[in-house]
């Protein structure tokens, strides 16, 4: 059992975010949904928390209201085996309101930061010319780093 679980604080989109992530990542599943009871801070019957696995890694999402927002100070790194995998995650997470950043970073439509990188990124950017090439990229293009 995983003994550290990321808790993602959403305004009221926890279930929507969970469903999006479940549709993107393989080997993923919904675990639990807990609803706010009567007399609680949330509207009775609405989703309070939902737990899910993304490729075997457990997350919990909370509908806690608009008090806190996501920042780039925390991101989830997705190590990809090839360009097709990078393209899949990049396209799926930037669609419908996501934002591209640089060097493989993006924010999904909920503001959660992700790094979509090849699993051998450290080796690829060990050459100064490849590092310079990556600094000019938004989505990582493996062949461009290999040829830099």
Q: Are the C-beta atoms of 107 and 99 separated by less than 8 Å?
A: yes
Q: Taking Cα atoms as reference points, which of 135, 111, 107 lies closest to residue 121?
A: 135
- Same domain (yes/no): 82, 58: no
Confidence tier at 68 by pLDDT (50, 70, 90): very high
- Same domain (yes/no): 105, 137: yes
- Same domain (yes/no): 79, 133: yes
- Same domain (yes/no): 38, 94: no
- Same domain (yes/no): 52, 12: yes
pTM listed for this prediction:
0.94
Domain extent, residue 29, equals 7-63
Looking at the structure of the chain, the number of domains it has is 2
* Cα gap 29→21, rounded to integer Å: 10
Any domain includes 70: no
Q: Among all chains, which residue has been given the structure tokens 């997350």? A: 59
Is the pLDDT at 1 greater than 80? The verdict is no
Any domain includes 2: no
Locate all alpha helices (DSSP H) within the chain, ordered by sequence.
Answer: 14-24, 83-94, 121-124, 128-135, 142-146
**Tokens at residue 133, please?**
């090439």
Domain at 107, CATH number: 3.10.180.10
Cα separations in angstroms, 115 against 30, 44, 65, 107: 23, 36, 26, 9
Confidence tier at 137 by pLDDT (50, 70, 90): very high
The model's pLDDT over 84-107, given as tens digits with 9 standing for 90+, comes to 999 999 999 999 999 999 999 999
**Tokens at residue 106, please?**
């993006």
Is the pLDDT at 2 greater than 90? The verdict is no
- Same domain (yes/no): 56, 83: no
Q: Taking Cα atoms as reference points, which of 60, 44, 121 lies closest to residue 85?
A: 121
Any domain includes 103: yes
The model's pLDDT over 22-60, given as tens digits with 9 standing for 90+, comes to 999 999 999 999 999 999 989 999 999 999 999 999 999
- Same domain (yes/no): 51, 83: no
């Amino acid at each position: 059992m995983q003994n550290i679980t990321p808790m993602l604080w959403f305004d009221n989109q926890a279930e929507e975010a969970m469903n999006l992530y479940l549709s993107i990542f393989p080997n993923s599943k919904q675990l639990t949904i807990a609803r706010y009871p009567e007399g609680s801070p949330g509207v009775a019957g609405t989703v309070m928390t939902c737990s899910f696995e993304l490729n075997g890694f457990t997350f919990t999402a909370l509908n806690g209201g608009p008090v806190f927002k996501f920042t780039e100070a925390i991101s989830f790194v997705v190590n990809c085996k090839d360009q097709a995998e990078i393209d899949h995650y990049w396209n799926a997470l930037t669609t419908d309101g996501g934002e591209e950043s640089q060097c493989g970073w993006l924010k999904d439509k909920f503001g959660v930061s992700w790094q979509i990188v090849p699993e051998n990124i450290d080796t690829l950017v060990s050459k100064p010319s490849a590092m310079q090439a990556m600094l000019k990229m938004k989505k990582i293009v493996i062949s461009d780093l290999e040829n830099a």
